Amino acid sequence: MQHLGVRLLSASEGHVELAIPYSDKTTQQQGGFHGGAIGALADIAGGYAALTVMPEGMEVVTVEYKINFLASHQGGEIRAIGKVIKAGRRVVVTSAEVVHIDADGKSSPCAVMQQTLAPVPQTY
C-alpha cells in the first residue's frame, strides 16, 4: 500500500474508503490507471471493511473477487469504498465501488467489485 501511495480516508463499522493518486506507479502504457492498481485498491478496501467487523485476534484473507472495469481514467485519483455485505464466521462477503475523482472534484464510475474473504487467526 505504501508503494502505491494508498491513503485511508475513512473507516467505520463495515465501511472503509481509500484513495490512490495518479502516478507513474499506478498507470499502464496508455496513461490510464492500471487494472492491477484498481483491483488492489478495491481488494484492500473490501478487506479493511471486513476487518472492522472481525472479533479481536482475527484478520481476513481474500478467497476470491470479481471486478468489472467500467471506464479508464487519467489524472486525479481513484477512491474505493468497501462495504460489508454479510459477515459470517467462515465467510465474509464485501463489495467495493471504485470512482475516479478529477482535478475539479468531479466523480465518475471506474469499477465495481464483489469479494469473498475468510476469517483467519492473527499470526503475529
Class of domain 7-121: alpha beta
The average pLDDT across 48-75 equals 96
- Alpha carbons within 13 angstroms on the beta-carbon side of residue 30 total 6
The C-alpha atoms of residue 70 and residue 39 are separated, in whole angstroms, by 12
pLDDT of 60 over the 90 cut: yes
User: Where residue 4 falls among pLDDT bands split at 50, 70, 90?
Assistant: confident
Share of residues in the chain with pLDDT > 70 (%): 100
Amino acid identity for residue 82 in this structure: G
- Interval 19-59: pLDDT, tens: 999 999 998 999 999 999 999 999 999 999 999 999 999 99
The answer for residues whose C-beta is within 8 angstroms of residue 77's C-beta and 6 or more apart is 19, 20, 21, 22, 100, 101
The C-alpha atoms of residue 114 and residue 4 are separated, in whole angstroms, by 22
**Cell numbers 478467497: residue:** 63
Share of residues in the chain with pLDDT > 90 (%): 90
Q: What is the mean pLDDT of the chain?
A: 95
Closest CA to 17 of 2, 3, 27, 7: 7
pLDDT of residue 1: 77
124 CB burial (10 A radius; 0-12, 13-18, 19+):
exposed
The average pLDDT across 117-121 equals 97
The phi-psi region of residue 57 (left if phi > 0; otherwise alpha if psi is between -120 and 50; otherwise beta) is left
